[in-house]
Amino acid sequence: MINLSILISSSEVSGPGGLFDFNLTLPLVAIQFVLLTVLLNVILYNPLLTVIEERKEYILTNLSKASELLAEANKLTEKYEQELNNVRKEAQSEITNSQKIHKEILEIELDISQKYIDNLLDTIQKDLLAKKNMALNSLDEIVQSLCVDIETRLSI
C-alpha cells in the first residue's frame, strides 16, 4: 500500500495541464493522424487494392475461360459418345448380317455336300448290288458246275 500512496502523491501535478490538457497538442495530434491516414492510403492501401482488383479480374477471366472450355469439352464428349453409339450399332448390324450370310452359305454347302454324299452312296449301293448279282450269278454257275460234277461222280 505504501507504494500505491507514493505513486498517487507523485502523480499530482501542480498547475495547469493536468490529465486533460487541451491546448495546442490535441489539434496537432489530429492533424498528424489525418496526414498519416492519407499518406497510408496513398502509399500502401491504394496500390494494394489495385493489385487485389487486378488479381480478382485475372481469376474471373480464367474462371470464365475454364467454364467455356469445360462446356465445349462436354459438347465434344456428347458428340463423340453419340458417334460411338452409332458406330457400335452399325458394327452390330454388320455382324448380324455377316452371320446371316455365313449361315446361308453354310446351309447351301451342307445341302450340296449332302446331295453329293447321297449320290455317292447311291452309286456305291448300285455298284455293290451289281457286284452281288454278279457274284450270285457266278456262284450259281459254280454251284451248277459242282452239282454236275457231283452227279457225274455219283453216277460213275
Residue 121 pLDDT grade (very low, low, confident, very high; cuts 50, 70, 90): very high
Mean per-residue pLDDT over the chain, rounded = 88
Cα 54 to chain center, whole Å?
40
Quick one: pLDDT at residue 7?
Answer: 55
Q: Say what the pTM is.
A: 0.46
Residue among 40, 41, 21 at smallest CA distance from 29: 21
Cell of 72: 465445349
Q: What stretches of 13-45 show up as alpha helix (H) in DSSP? A: 25-40
56-58-61 Cα angle (round to 5)? 105
